Amino acid sequence: MKYNIFRIIVLILVLSFMAFAQGTPKLELTVVDTKVNMSQAEKEGKAQISYKPGDIIRYTIIASNVGTGVLSNPLITDPVPQGVSYKPLSAKGENAEITYSVNEGRLFQSWPPTYKVKDENEQIVVKLASPNMITHIRWELKKPLAPNESQQLEFEVIVK
């Protein structure tokens, strides 16, 4: 009986040590927006950067593990800002599965996303979503992020 209690105590100590040794992951996101089609004056700092319909903005997201443990398969979801439309197939991320939402982030689908509507006969019809219907983009990283490791993700939008 004493031997079993000793084994249990040793097992608890080993598991506790393993949990402590693994550390705690912590995801930190940094988002930077850059106007892609700047004028020469904007590039040289001679003119303030302004946006007009048709301008392209690139959003770069840096997903960093600032914790002490490995971050496995993180999900990073970013809303598409108001006043812009997603630029098709511009989302990128190495070792990431990219999905899209057309319903405020409730459901995500691969490209091209679809939606359902009723036609004139009250039949449900599946239609392709237009780029301006994309409300959120999600990256599921397929490679764990080690402590102090980062992954760059990006997408582009067009100003409406």
Burial (0-12, 13-18, 19+ Cβ within 10 Å), 82: exposed
Distances (CA, A) of 134 to 13, 61, 70, 107, 122: 50, 18, 31, 11, 25
Q: What is the pLDDT of residues 91-143, one digit of tens each?
A: 999 999 999 999 999 999 999 999 999 999 999 999 999 999 999 999 999 99
Closest to 26 in 3D by CA, of 62, 69, 60? 69
**Which DSSP state fits 131?**
G
Closest to 36 in 3D by CA, of 59, 19, 18? 59
pTM of the model: 0.81
- Say if domain 23-159 classifies as CATH 2.60.40: yes
The predicted structure's pLDDT at residue 18: 46
